Chain A
Amino acid sequence: MRAYLKHPFWQAVGLFVAAFLVVEFVIPALPGSAVVPKSVVLQYMATVLVGILIWVSDDEARWTTFKEPLHDVLIQPRLKVVRTVLLAVVTLMVGCLTYSQVKASVAAPPNLRSIHPAPPSQITFRGKTITLVGLENPLRKQGDIAAHIAEGHRIYYQNCVPCHGDHLDGQGHFASGFNPLPANFQDNGTIAQLTESFVFWRIAKGGPGLPREGTPWNSAMPAWEEFLTEDEIWSVVLFLYDQTGWKPRTWEVSAEGSK
């Protein structure tokens, strides 16, 4: 047993299996975590495998010892059974892999959806052209901000709450019916990463206004410009940031200072 533990080949195998167990079972079991998608598991395991191969082969002595069991299995007469089993298993595995790859499945194929697609530089809002680049929330500079937030609060609870939820976390009553799920504003990857004008654009144009990389046919978000006025959308934007505590991304001051 000890000999096995010290042998680089079995150490490598053990490391690999341990890494797999961590990615597949330990990470999902951590608090607040979830299952790791297959594509990511594959990527992690490939990286780990490369790392292990580097470790066993960067030293001449270790590399030679590492190859011993492989070499033995391939040529030693006493290991004939192992060799046969191994050949059968490898062949079977390749077969199963091929089968699972070509097998028709009911699940929709995973697709790439860009969460933050490139916004246009300007949009037409009810016939009025709005330039998004460099645009700040106009309500931050006019009137009483608390009143605007209260207004946004009211509008959010009238329109947005069924999908985006009471906690603004994308867990509204209807949320489970959608794929993609409604945006979770509490997440540091959504509005926390975006300028207010981007959020405005997404609310105003909704799913139908998404560019191709955002796969518009998936998003159930309505184009709110049909139902809300410009100021109403801006006040909702204010409310979202106020309620979640995120700060909107600000525009970089350009070198010419003219943006």
Chain B
Amino acid sequence: MSKRNLCQISPGFEEIMPAEYRDLVERGPYGKGWGVAEMGSFKELIEEHPLCAGCGLALSMRLILVSLPSPEDTVVVGSTGCSALAFPQVALHNIHSLFGNQNAVASGLKRALALRFPGRVKDVVVIAGDGATCDIGLDSVLHSWFRGEKITTIMLDNEAYANTGGQESGMTQRGTVLNMAPKGKKFGKVAVPEIARESGCVYVAVTSPAKPKNMEKAVRRAVLLARDLGPTYVQLLCPCPTNYKFKPNETLDRIRDQEKQGHFRPREYYTPEAEAFIRQLEEAKG
């Protein structure tokens, strides 16, 4: 169905449909193949959102949704956390089940869609926070990778449990004082990208919304590779002004500062098959 009109309006209902629905029908991205370069010229999949001003997560979610190669055939699985507050505003089928079970839900979902739609694209993308991915849900994240589930896992890394009031997570940097780490965190960020590389992910990228084009490329590669080769992982640094107490307009500067200071290291890992696949794909696209 990739190019068919997913959203339509029954004749006679044009006037009474909500404005954002009419926008989706008339200027939505389904089947269009649009991306970051076209932002501002079409109706995006996220409609408003209740997240804080300057939220790194909100910016990342917006860019992820714009970067999906086939939004008309993408189902998102989320988890509890700040992002769960924004997903009800997203015009894709998206599942919030529980805190930490997102990759297990996605495993069952992907297999079900593969059974029901053989030979057709049905992308399953997990988008969850660092607490959900690295702590409470790590078991299911790892096992989905070990099993080679053909899903993309995206971590929105704001280095804290932001939605419960700013507690330390496994992705918080060493020494940071947060709730539940009153004397500073005793260990460093968990090396999830390297764990992913060793656990079966064919592609791993660490990037951020500070470089939208770069981030778009990572998300597209991850989704396309998961479709054909195996699990992929993208980790996005999404600073949290509310809990880290900086001004909302400083979010991107903070990412750049972190990179300059060596605390944030963008990187990519491929398997040889993934690298060949991507080269072929991107050369074909020109």
Our verdict on whether A and B bind, yes or no, reads no
List residues of A whose CB falls within 8 A of some B CB: none
